[in-house]
Structure 1
Amino acid sequence: MIERDALIPTKYGSMPVFAACPSAPGPYPAVILYMDAPGFREELRNMARRMAKHGYYCLLPDLYYRLGTLRFDVSRRTEAMSVLIRGAMRSLSNAEVVDDTGGMIAFLDAQEQVSPGPIGCVGHCMSGPFVTTVAARFSRVRAVASLYGVDMVTDKPDSPHLLAAQIQGELYAGFAEVDPSVPAHVAPDLKAALEKAGVRHEVEVVPGTHHGYCFAARPDYNPVASEATWDKLMDLFARNLGRGA
């Protein structure tokens, strides 16, 4: 496997990224893995490596770069740390992440290991609305997964569900059965918006899960649901991006 750290120039400064892809000759379809609220860390790097093992060029950006270098040791999380994490999370907007994504796509296009054409995106938690917005803003984004995404349906003008008609790819939205940060109306309202817009999609509430069920380092990790989600991701990418080597 090939791994590298790089800096992507943006109008806000240099954004650190981690990239992983197979070592065999490519090119490979690109997937962008957007971080959750606890931020850039080894657990996300391992997720990027796992996607690379399936034959994709996976790019993991540090979206908190505007704030400097933030690293949270989530295994030692306290309420004080949670306050900082929530503050960092609130510092980002959908529009800023769209700007960042333009820089990421330019970076991907410059890599010889990356095949031209459709791109996939995955977002956990705070990045659910980011990847949904990105799907609406970039026609090349053809496979999108929002996993227990927050703020997917809001009363704000940039609510992701309002952009459904602009999504040209396929979207999977998996919500936790128990998630205080996601009101009960969100999943059905999102599904209704996607159906009205004619977007290929699957919206499901995964039984027996809590927010963060895909992360092995969290108490709410659900290995069965997490592996089922990985299978869904790989099928989603294969249908829309093609299979890697």
Structure 2
Amino acid sequence: MPVDHVSIRTRDGDCRAQVVTPAGQGPWPAVILYMDAGGIRPAMLAMAERLAAAGLVVLLPDLFYRYGPYGPFVPEAVFKGDVRAILGPLMATTGNDKAAADTVAFLAYLDTRDDIAGREIGAVGFCMGGGMALASAGTCPDRFAAVASFHGGNLATDAPTSPHLFAPMLTAEVYIGAAENDGSYPPAMAARLETALTQAGVRFTAETYRAAHGWMMPDFPVYDPAAAERG
């Protein structure tokens, strides 16, 4: 499956990205894949290829580009160590607001391609990327038709950049896939997000999977093949 390595100029620098396209001739609809805190690695590229195989042009940006070179990390090894010490410095370089600002540049890049069908695209995010996908779709509402968050954490907090605050701006249809017993997304937080979406008139579906936080990631110890396939 064709994979292009590109550099996208954002307001904070050059963001490394990969673009995975379906086999054959387009144009095709596009989707931006917002990575988890494990960063860009073979498993993340495999997930992008899975989406491309379904007929989508997939933009996979490295949202840790402000940090500089890193990894790739092996999640199983990271989880055996001090996760905060290893990933914390990278995560500190990005956030919902920065990812949303980056998305303006991502969309401008996609507009230069002749294999993209239409202006409206999709967004899908995993873990930290779930909130980034929601924030980005709320920041550029005229460009996103659908947005999905899988085991996204901290989706409704008191932070000024909390994803639930973008609900009034969302015009995309939203899917929230939550994990059972997820400390980063407890029931009270889920209720707060769903209330915000309902009050804003957003079309959304929220489901809780009988799986652990991170179940979608094929290189995580908690990977659940059946639940991931459903997702």
TM-score band, normalised by the shorter chain? over 0.9
1:140 alignment partner, one of 135, 140, 143 = 143
Q: Distance in 1 between matches of 2:166 and 2:51?
A: 28
- Give, in whole Å, the separation in 2 of the partners of 1:86 and 1:150: 15
Q: CA RMSD in A?
A: 1.3
How far is the alpha carbon of 1:187 from its aligned partner? 1.2
Per-residue deviation, 1:178 = 2.2
Partner in structure 2 of residue 30 of structure 1: 30
Aligned to 1:87: 89
Preserved contact between residue 16 and residue 61 of structure 1 (Cα < 8 Å):
yes
Give the secondary-structure state (helix, strand or coil) at the position aligned to 2:156: coil
Matched, 1:74 2:75: yes
Distance change >3 Å, CA 73–CA 90, structure 1 → 2: same
> Is it true that 1:202 corresponds to 2:205 in the alignment?
yes
Match of 1:41 in 2: 41
Answering whether residue 5 of structure 2 is matched by residue 2 of structure 1, we say: no
Stretch deviating more after TM superposition (74-83 or 161-170)? 74-83
Q: Which amino acid aligns with 1:74?
A: P
**1:82 Cα deviation from its structure 2 partner:** 4.5
Q: Confirm or deny that 1:125 pairs with 2:127.
A: yes
Q: Which residue of 2 aligns with 1:17?
A: 17
Q: Which amino acid aligns with 2:150?
A: L
Comparing 142-151 and 80-89, the one that deviates more:
80-89
Pairwise CA distance, 1:116: 2.4
1:161-240 equivalent positions in 2, closer than 5 A:
161-207=164-210, 209-229=211-231
- Of the three residues 98, 101, 109, the one matched with 2:100 is 98
CA contact (8 A) 1:48 1:58 kept: yes
Structure holding more strand per residue: 1
Give the aligned residue type for 1:46. Answer: A
C-alpha separation between the residues in 2 aligned to 1:150 and 1:197? 21
Distance 1:123 1:135 in 2: 11
Structure 2: which 5+ residue stretches go unaligned?
Answer: none
1:167-205 deviations in Å (ceiling 9; x for gaps):
001000111002122232111111111111110001121
Q: Which amino acid aligns with 1:226?
A: A
The answer on whether the counterparts of 2:76 and 2:221 sit within 8 Å (CA) in structure 1 is no
State the AA in 2 paired with 1:87.
P
| Residues 135-156 of structure 1: per-residue CA shift (max 9 Å, x gap) | 1111211110011111100012
Residues 124, 147 of structure 2: 8 Å contact kept: yes
Identity %: 37
CA distance in 1, matches of 2:70, 2:116: 29
Give the aligned residue type for 1:47.
M
| 1:33 counterpart SS class | strand
Alpha carbons 1:109, 1:116 under 8 Å: kept:
no
Query: Are the equivalent residues in 2 in contact too, given 1:187–1:204 (CA < 8 A)?
Result: no
Deviations 1:76-131 (A, max 9, x none): 22324542213322331222111211111111111111122211001111111111
